[in-house]
Amino acid sequence: MKKIIVANWKMAPASFESAKKTFRAIKKTADKLHNVQTVVCPPVLYLRELGASVTGHRTVLGAQNAFWNEEEAHTGEHSPDMLVRVGAKYVILGHSERRALGESDVMIREKVRACLLSGLYVIACVGEKERDAHGGYTKFIANQVRQSLPKINMGKQLLGNIIVAYEPLWAIGKKAKRAASVEDAVEATIFIKKTLVGIFGKDAVNIPILYGGSVNDQNAGEFLEQESVNGLLVGRASLDPETFSRILTARKK
Ligand code: PGA
């Protein structure tokens, strides 16, 4: 199966020129890979112009957020349909950095629903703040999965557009001490898959589960070797095209 590797550029790079250069360099490698779906999620301002350099389907674009409503009176927001029109195929929702700004499970659920109905692939992020010795974090993750996904009657079509990213907060960003171990990631991805099957039934077994948090060119290969890890969500290491290209090509099997 193809692995999905997502670049989350967050609020970088500072200039469009640099974004264009980085995107083109990534695309050069990514376009050659038949076993990887590459998704670059730049700041929303760059989407339309980067979209002009997209050719084919191996390297595509995504957004980092969307609003749940198509009505006009929502200052500062972007509707899922607008994102589709400027070339986004995917959208990251419920990232911990947005949850930290006050996004609740309910808001994320509404966003997931609206984006699915607009035809976007949704990358819904979940992950615990810390791990306790008694396994309480699994309850937390299960609850987040249940609360962050809409209970609409999802046919196979909509279900096929959901991706879940397991991103433990303790492993994300500059302050993280380390990435999750491969064992941590495998355990959590299998657990999330079981939770999804519990909610949506057996078709949910095909929902891809990604790992994110301090992924780099040294550890990517190990994660990608795992059958239960269907891809990666990469932050810092996705802004350097050489490092990110090594991540894209790290898969051994
Ligand atoms: P990181 O970020 O790879 O820089 O740890 C991952 C993320 O926040 O999605």
Domains along the sequence of the chain with CATH: 3-248 (3.20.20.70)
Atom of ligand 1 nearest to the CA of 237: 3
Catalytic residue from among 95, 97, 103, 128: 95
Catalytic residue from among 97, 103, 128, 167: 167
**74 CA distance to ligand 1 centroid (A)?**
28
**Residue 213 CB contacts under 8 Å (≥ 6 apart), including other chains:** 127, 167, 168, 170, 171, 172, 176, 179, 180
C-alpha dist (Å) from residue 222 to 40, 190, 211, 217, 249: 22, 16, 11, 10, 12
Per-residue pLDDT at 158: 86
Query: What is the rounded CA–CA span in Å between residue 103 and residue 112?
Result: 13
Phi, psi of 187 (to 5 degrees): -60, -45
**211 CA distance to ligand 1 centroid (A)?**
10
Q: Which protein residues are within 6 Å of ligand 1, measured from CB?
A: 8, 167, 172-173, 176, 212-215, 233-237
Query: What is the rounded CA–CA span in Å between residue 80 and residue 118?
Result: 6
For residue 109, the cross-strand partners are none
On whether the pTM is more than 0.85, the answer is yes
Please name which of 1, 97, 2 lies closest in space to residue 41, comparing C-alpha atoms. Answer: 97
For the chain of 253 residues, list the mean pLDDT of each consecutive stretch of 10. Answer: 97 98 98 97 98 96 95 93 97 97 96 95 96 90 95 76 96 90 96 95 94 97 98 98 98 77
Per-residue pLDDT at 43: 98
| Contact present, 3 and 251 (Cβ < 8 Å) | yes
| Ligand 1, atom 9: closest residue by C-alpha | 235
